[in-house]
């Protein structure tokens, strides 16, 4: 157990410290960095889905006035480390997916660069490609591990025997779509090589982690950490797509190295983001449930199929939440992957848990229907005493409280509201549970000093719109026992000490813990009235990390769906979530995370869908005109509530992560509500009207 901070600044809904800059449009984003004489890069992309580049004629491009540089895979520098084939740009003539980077043009303006890029003549030796995912593919393989370092398969007891012996069984296959992150700010990099004439590199990169970003670039180019500075004070959204650098960061760096003394700016176009910035793999989830007539599970199993690219493996861990969510003596989870001629999948808000809470949470609703048991009651009957996966006690688990409070606030009623008709509209309500693990990275360091009457902490963390700029001072102030107005926390630059990526909802837990260590040491050493220049460093204390409990945040999502009886039009006027996510540091920024996640879950359920065209091997709707994202007009009343939970096992703040739990479970709740309204059970996302008529 950790000694919990006494909350003074913690718990206050302070306004975002970066809010005014952002609203006024003066927060400097990576592409807008003011540099002397910027040059502009535009990629050359492969126009086949598989094969080899046999020639690239750059004569026409180089003849355009204002073109400064044309690099192709035949002329580019050889990189120090090509083991990560997503990062190894322009190193091979092999094309592994349509849109892959094969060259870059740099010019005096972005328009010229784009024009010149289009005029590079490329000759290919094209081969047939294969990009259709199905659970019947014969080349499905078993990854060694799945994303997050999780075991690929787990098993306990005998699911087949339990299925054969059970009073009631359910066996269904569910599918989630391919999804692409579309943060408002696209993926951009400004790269400046040799700005000071000393062989150094400055990258202003839109990233969720300046330190991991730098480490990746240094590895690929064989540079020392001291040679490279990555700067990113503000991020216009990322959702995981900026949690790791993608190929364009290496391309911009490569272009800058070929043009020393000029700052090279590269912004992926919205369309290019659909090829080069990662995406959520489609998932196929075969669920098996076995239960008695009272709804007590004797078996729960999930078999997941996902896709990955041929050049780099990323296996979405969608089977993982089923391992711990409900009690059942017989359990199984498996992951199989197909390596296809497709772009590289990557992180998208709650990889694993988000798609992985779709199959089980819809399956439970189907089982509840079959048994005539309220779906909330069914979940409560299968609450596990301890974590079924590890056997450890929960650090805290208040799922039942979330379900009950949600039912109360939503007006769920006795046995769950049955569907009814309201004029031309079919109305129904649905529920699903949500979960997200509470994670803490192993490494992060904060330095804290007293200067000019202020407490100043520095840590190379990131705020991708989450509120870190605002809540880290709240944590530091309470750890010091001083007024939050007297505390500054500086982030977003590798000139500050090393910090982990803003990912896995682990930022507050990790960086906050480092700041608490630094602040407590500072207070112990310098007392209540420090002198100018007093300074101390604090590291995330791994030794103090609790290993004896299973730490997770939980939640319950409620949805009201209305479906037009004639047209099938689907509306969701009400979304309500109740979360048990530990101490809430700042209710204002936390609410934004919760309702943002829930809205993204609604978007996943109804609107988003990267429509893959297997004939040409690309996303057909690769722009915001055709890739629909839930907008204001699509959401009605979105409410996020939380229960008062202070978890003494997770960290000194008692706080769990909140960035990703809001999206988990939402899509299942939508499907369950639509079923209650219409009687139609949609098992393949998104829920579109053609599936309801």
- Residue 208 CB, nearest approach to ligand MOS (Å): 6
Stretch binding ligand MOS (CB under 6 A), from 259-267, 348-356, 533-541, 617-625: 348-356
- Residue 189 CB, nearest approach to ligand MOS (Å): 18
Nearer to ligand MOS, 183 or 319 (CB): 183
Nearer to ligand MOS, 351 or 686 (CB): 351
- The pattern of x and - marking residues 262 through 301 that bind ligand MOS according to CB under 6 A reads ----------------------------------------
- Residue 642 CB, nearest approach to ligand MOS (Å): 20
Beta-sheet strands, E only, within 67-138: 67-72, 94-95, 101-107, 121-126
Nearer to ligand MOS, 233 or 345 (CB): 345
Assigned token pair, 247 = 């190929």
Total site size for ligand MOS, rule CB under 6 A: 10
For residue 321, state whether it binds ligand MOS (rule: CB under 6 A).
Answer: no
Asked if residues 302 and 359 have their Cβ atoms less than 8 Å apart, the reply is: yes
SS3 content of the chain, % helix, strand, coil (to 5): 25, 25, 45
Number of alpha carbons in the 13 Å side-chain half-sphere of residue 428:
22
- SS3 at position 320: coil
Number of alpha carbons in the 13 Å side-chain half-sphere of residue 460:
24
- Residue 119 CB, nearest approach to ligand MOS (Å): 37
- φ, ψ of residue 629 in degrees (nearest 5): -125, 135
User: Considering only CA atoms, which of 342, 336, 422, 409 is closest in space to residue 376?
Assistant: 409
For residue 51, state whether it binds ligand MOS (rule: CB under 6 A).
Answer: no
Stretch binding ligand MOS (CB under 6 A), from 222-230, 320-328, 346-354, 616-624: 346-354
Instruction: Dihedral sign for Cα 514, 515, 520, 522, please.
Output: positive
Q: Which residues pair with 559 in a beta bridge?
A: 430, 575
Asked if residues 348 and 280 have their Cβ atoms less than 8 Å apart, the reply is: yes
User: Considering only CA atoms, which of 9, 12, 16, 7 is closest in space to residue 587?
Assistant: 12
Q: What does DSSP say about strands 51-57 and 121-126: parallel, antiparallel, or unpaired?
A: antiparallel
- Residue 596 CB, nearest approach to ligand MOS (Å): 12
- The pattern of x and - marking residues 452 through 471 that bind ligand MOS according to CB under 6 A reads --------------------
Q: Which residues pair with 148 in a beta bridge?
A: none
- φ, ψ of residue 480 in degrees (nearest 5): -85, -25
Nearer to ligand MOS, 179 or 455 (CB): 179
For residue 416, state whether it binds ligand MOS (rule: CB under 6 A).
Answer: no
CA max distance for the chain: 77
- Residue 245 CB, nearest approach to ligand MOS (Å): 13
- Residue 181 CB, nearest approach to ligand MOS (Å): 8
List 86, 185, 608, 660, catalytic entry:
660
Task: Give the residue at shortest CB distance from ligand MOS.
Answer: 240
- Residue 440 CB, nearest approach to ligand MOS (Å): 13
- Exactly one of 228, 256, 273, 348 binds ligand MOS (CB under 6 A); that residue is 348
Tokens 């062989």 correspond to: 199
For residue 347, state whether it binds ligand MOS (rule: CB under 6 A).
Answer: yes
- Measured in residues, the chain has a length of 693
- The pattern of x and - marking residues 613 through 652 that bind ligand MOS according to CB under 6 A reads ----------------------------------------
User: Considering only CA atoms, which of 166, 172, 444, 132 is closest in space to residue 292?
Assistant: 166
Nearer to ligand MOS, 617 or 657 (CB): 657
Of residues 231-250, which lie at the interface with ligand MOS (CB under 6 A)?
Answer: 240, 243
Q: Where are the alpha helices (DSSP H) in 199-293?
A: 210-221, 247-258, 270-276
Beta-sheet strands, E only, within 362-444: 420-422, 425-437
Nearer to ligand MOS, 300 or 501 (CB): 501
CA of 582: how far to CAs of 325, 437, 548, in Å?
Answer: 18, 12, 17
Of residues 653-682, which lie at the interface with ligand MOS (CB under 6 A)?
Answer: 660
- Residue 284 CB, nearest approach to ligand MOS (Å): 21
For residue 503, state whether it binds ligand MOS (rule: CB under 6 A).
Answer: yes
Strand order, beta sheet including 121-126: 94-95, 51-57, 121-126
Nearer to ligand MOS, 240 or 295 (CB): 240
Of residues 160-219, which lie at the interface with ligand MOS (CB under 6 A)?
Answer: 208
Assigned token pair, 446 = 């904060």
Measured distance CA(28)–CA(35) in Å, rounded: 12
Query: Annotated catalytic, 86?
Result: no
Residues sharing a CB contact under 8 Å with residue 40, sequence separation 6 or more, in sequence order? 106, 107, 108, 109, 110, 112, 113, 264, 265, 266
- Exactly one of 50, 180, 349, 520 binds ligand MOS (CB under 6 A); that residue is 349
Stretch binding ligand MOS (CB under 6 A), from 82-90, 258-266, 345-353, 538-546: 345-353
Residues in touch with ligand MOS (CB under 6 A): 208, 240, 243, 347-349, 351, 503-504, 660
For the annotated catalytic residues, the residue numbers are 660
């Amino acid at each position: 157990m950790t000694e919990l901070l006494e909350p003074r600044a913690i718990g206050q809904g302070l306004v975002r410290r970066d809010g005014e800059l952002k609203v006024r449009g003066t927060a400097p984003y990576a592409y807008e960095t003011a540099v002397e004489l910027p040059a502009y890069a535009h990629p050359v992309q492969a126009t086949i889905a598989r094969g080899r580049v046999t020639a690239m004629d750059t004569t026409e491009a180089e003849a355009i006035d204002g073109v400064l540089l044309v690099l192709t895979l035949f002329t580019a520098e050889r990189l120090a480390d090509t083991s990560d084939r997503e990062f190894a740009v322009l190193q091979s003539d092999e094309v592994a997916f349509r849109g892959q980077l094969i060259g870059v043009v740099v010019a005096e303006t972005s328009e010229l660069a784009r024009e010149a890029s289009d005029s590079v003549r490329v000759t290919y030796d094209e081969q047939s490609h294969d990009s259709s995912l199905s659970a019947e593919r014969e080349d499905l393989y078993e990854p060694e591990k799945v994303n997050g370092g999780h075991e690929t398969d787990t098993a306990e007891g005998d699911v087949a025997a339990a299925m054969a012996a059970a009073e009631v069984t359910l066996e269904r296959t569910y599918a989630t779509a391919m999804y692409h992150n579309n943060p408002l700010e696209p993926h951009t990099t400004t790269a400046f090589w040799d700005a000071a004439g000393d062989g150094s590199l400055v990258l202003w990169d839109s990233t969720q982690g300046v330190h991991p970003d730098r480490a990746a670039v240094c590895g690929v180019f064989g540079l020392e950490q001291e040679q490279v500075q990555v700067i990113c004070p503000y991020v216009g959204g990322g959702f995981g797509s900026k949690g790791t650098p993608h190929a364009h960061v290496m391309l911009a760096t490569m272009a800058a190295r070929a043009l020393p003394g000029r700052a090279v700016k590269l912004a992926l176009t919205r369309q290019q983001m659909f090829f080069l910035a990662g995406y959520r793999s489609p998932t196929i989830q075969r669920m098996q449930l076995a239960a008695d007539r009272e709804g007590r599970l004797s078996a729960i199993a999930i078999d997941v199929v996902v896709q990955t690219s041929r050049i780099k493996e990323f296996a979405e861990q969608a089977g993982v939440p089923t391992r711990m969510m409900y009690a059942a003596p017989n359990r199984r989870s498996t992951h199989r992957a197909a390596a296809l001629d497709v772009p590289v999948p990557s992180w998208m808000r709650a990889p694993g848990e988000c798609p992985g809470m779709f199959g089980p949470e819809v399956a439970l609703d189907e089982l509840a229907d079959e048994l005539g048991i309220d779906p909330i009651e069914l979940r409560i009957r299968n609450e596990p005493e301890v974590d079924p996966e590890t056997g450890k006690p929960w650090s805290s688990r208040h799922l039942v409280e979330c379900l009950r409070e949600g039912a109360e606030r939503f007006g769920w009623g006795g046995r769950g509201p049955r569907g009814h008709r309201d004029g031309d509209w079919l109305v129904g309500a649905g529920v699903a549970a949500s979960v997200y693990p509470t994670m803490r990275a192993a490494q992060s360091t904060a330095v804290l000093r007293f200067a000019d009457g202020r407490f100043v902490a520095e840590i190379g963390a990131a705020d991708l719109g989450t509120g870190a700029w605002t809540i880290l001072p709240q944590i530091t102030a309470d750890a010091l026992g001083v007024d939050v107005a007297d505390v500054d926390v500086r982030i977003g630059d590798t000139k500050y000490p090393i910090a982990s990526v803003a990912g896995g909802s682990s930022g507050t837990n990790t960086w906050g813990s480092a700041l608490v260590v630094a602040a407590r040491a500072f207070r112990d050493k310098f007392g209540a009235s420090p002198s100018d220049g007093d300074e101390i460093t604090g590291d995330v204390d791994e030794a103090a990390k609790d290993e004896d409990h299973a730490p997770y945040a939980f939640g319950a999502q409620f949805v009201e769906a209305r479906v037009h009886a004639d047209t099938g039009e689907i509306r969701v006027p009400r979304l309500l979530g109740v979360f048990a996510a530990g101490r809430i540091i700042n209710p204002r920024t936390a609410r934004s995370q919760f309702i943002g996640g829930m809205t993204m879950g609604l978007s996943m359920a109804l609107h988003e869908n990267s429509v893959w065209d297997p004939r040409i091997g690309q996303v057909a709707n690769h722009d915001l005109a055709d890739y629909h994202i839930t907008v204001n007009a699509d959401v009605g009343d979105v409410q996020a509530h939380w229960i008062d939970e202070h978890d003494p096992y997770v960290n000194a703040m008692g706080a769990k992560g909140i960035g990703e739990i809001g999206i988990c479970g939402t899509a299942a709740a939508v499907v369950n509500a639509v079923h209650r309204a219409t009687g139609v059970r949609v098992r393949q996302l998104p829920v579109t009207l053609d599936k309801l008529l």
